[in-house]
Amino acid sequence: MDILGIETSCDETAAAVVRDGRDVLANVVYTQIPLHQPYGGVVPEIASRAHIEKIGAVVGEAMRRHRVAVGEEASIDAVAVTYGPGLSPALLVGLNAAKGLAKGLGVPLIPINHIEAHLHTPFLFDSIAADGSRQQSTAVGDRASTGLCPAEAMPALGLAISGGHTCLVDQPEYGSYRIIGQTLDDAAGEAFDKAAKLLGLGYPGGPKIDRIAREYVEDCRQQSKAVDFIAFPKGRPREGVTALAGLPADLCVSFSGLKTALLRYVQREGGPERLAAEGGIPRIVASYQEAIVQSVVDRARTALRRGSYRSFIVGGGVSLNSRLRAALNELAAAERVRLLMALPKYCGDNGAMIAGLAFFRRNRVEDAMSLDVNPCLEVGE
Ligand code: KG4
Ligand code: ZN
């Protein structure tokens, strides 16, 4: 079954065709990052206008590549689309396009939750050669980060970690989701982006901080110096805080204290320009990143010990972070759980995760054609 997936929840206009939920036959992502860069973050009006301008070409290119991969008999069996959470004017563009396509092609429409889709990414692989043709010999799982099919990976603990969300999700079986912990304020990616903005490093901050921190740690190693991290707060909610919706505080993170600590530190040291001139930025960003990584690892460890999981599934843009990937690998080895992480190209927002999950979530919503966007859609809703 070949499903076309459309994703426009934030600043990527994306479309993909995925066979039977896992085999990515076409994947096209147009990123709007350069449009938002001058503003230091995503501007919803700019995002929605750019989605309107690009959606036709992006979907058209995904369908063209699908035909190259499987031949002229290529057909689309269903259209899947993100209907939340995300920016309302951005989601609307994708949902309306998907409704039109589903109606035009005479196929079902499958609405998908963006965060649940991030947790599907480790199950995606692709069998497309460099010239766009399909490699016949590629078996399921051949080039995937995992050979497991979703049902075999259950029960699982999920960690969705991106610019818009940071949550721990209990998945007793595939397609069943319950949030057991989350951030009480900023998402991890937001914490990276805001720090980078404060330090004048540009947008998006995550990849820049990742690189600078990696080079700093490498330099220390080469000079046989111990890495001297600044002791930033480790993202624990304040003592006595009962976290959102009755979630246990020890499975939740809060990055507001960390951000304030960074701001105070930078002010005390004379501001970002002076710090940059004195070469102080690398140590700060490495320490800040370490605080985020340790806070996430700490909550994930607690969640893994509290449940009985066969696997630990991680998805979302921040899972590209090299330090986080290393720390999660160590955690999974110590806790004897199988870690499933997406191939790097499926970590950020993409249509493949939408089309992929849709195969497993086909008959969930009755009247999909009359569904509206839901910017605050909850996991498991
Ligand atoms: O999943 P994603 O593409 O979009 C959302 O659903 O939010 O995630 C984007 C976020 C941004 O905040 C970006 O700074 C962060 O992922 N990010 C990273 C890295 N690459 C992207 N954060 C830390 N380290 C990275 N290497
Ligand atoms: Zn996302």
pLDDT in tens, 208-222: 999 999 999 999 999
CATH code of the domain covering residue 31:
3.30.420.40
Please indicate, yes or no, whether residues 81 and 216 belong to a single structural domain of this protein.
no
pLDDT of residue 242: 62
pLDDT of residue 143: 37
pLDDT of residue 363: 78
Whether the predicted pLDDT of 79 surpasses 50 = yes
| Structural domain boundaries enclosing 123 | 2-149+345-370
Distance of CA 189 from the midpoint of ligand 1 (Å): 5
Neighbours of ion ligand 2 (CB under 5 A): 162, 349
Distance of CA 9 from the midpoint of ligand 2 (Å): 8
pLDDT of residue 136: 53
Q: 7 CB less than 6 Å from ligand 1?
A: no
Whether the predicted pLDDT of 285 surpasses 50 = yes
Residue showing tokens 């995904």: 62
Residue 100 forms part of a structural domain: yes
Residue 376 forms part of a structural domain: no
Residues 6 or more apart whose CB falls under 8 angstroms from that of 171 comprise 119, 154, 155, 156, 157, 158, 177, 178, 313
Whether the predicted pLDDT of 141 surpasses 90 = no
Relative orientation angle of helices 322-335 and 281-306, to the nearest 10 degrees: 30
The average pLDDT across 35-59 equals: 93
Q: Are 272 and 198 in contact, with CB atoms under 8 Å apart?
A: yes
Cross-strand pairs, 12? 31
Tally of structural domains, the chain: 2
Ligand nearest to the CA of 318: 1
What percent helix, strand, coil does the chain show, rounded to 5?
Answer: 45, 20, 35
Q: Are 150 and 338 in contact, with CB atoms under 8 Å apart?
A: no
Residue 377 forms part of a structural domain: no
Whether the predicted pLDDT of 297 surpasses 60 = yes
pLDDT of residue 161: 98
Distance of CA 273 from the midpoint of ligand 2 (Å): 32
Residue 175 forms part of a structural domain: yes
Please indicate, yes or no, whether residues 259 and 311 belong to a single structural domain of this protein.
yes
Q: 196 CB less than 6 Å from ligand 1?
A: no
Of 133-142, 161-170, 297-306, 352-361, least confident by mean pLDDT is: 133-142
Please indicate, yes or no, whether residues 188 and 237 belong to a single structural domain of this protein.
yes
The average pLDDT across 315-338 equals: 96
Q: What is the pLDDT of residues 18-36, one digit of tens each?
A: 999 999 999 999 999 999 9
Token code pair at residue 27: 């994947």
* Test site for ligand 1: of 120, 192, 343, most ligand atoms within 8 A of the Cβ: 192
Whether the predicted pLDDT of 144 surpasses 70 = no
- Shortest CA distance to 181 belongs to which of 166, 192, 171, 191? 166
Please indicate, yes or no, whether residues 186 and 333 belong to a single structural domain of this protein.
yes
What is the pTM (predicted TM-score) of this model?
Answer: 0.93
Secondary structure E strands in the chain: 2-7, 12-19, 23-31, 78-84, 109-113, 125-126, 156-161, 166-171, 178-182, 311-315, 338-341
pLDDT of residue 140: 39
pLDDT of residue 131: 77
pLDDT of residue 288: 98
Residue 378 forms part of a structural domain: no
pLDDT of residue 246: 81
Please indicate, yes or no, whether residues 243 and 357 belong to a single structural domain of this protein.
no
Q: CA-CA distance, 339 to 313, in Å (whole number)?
A: 6
How far the first Cα of the chain sits from its last, in Å, is 25
Ligand nearest to the CA of 40: 1
* Test site for ligand 1: of 12, 13, 87, 162, most ligand atoms within 8 A of the Cβ: 162
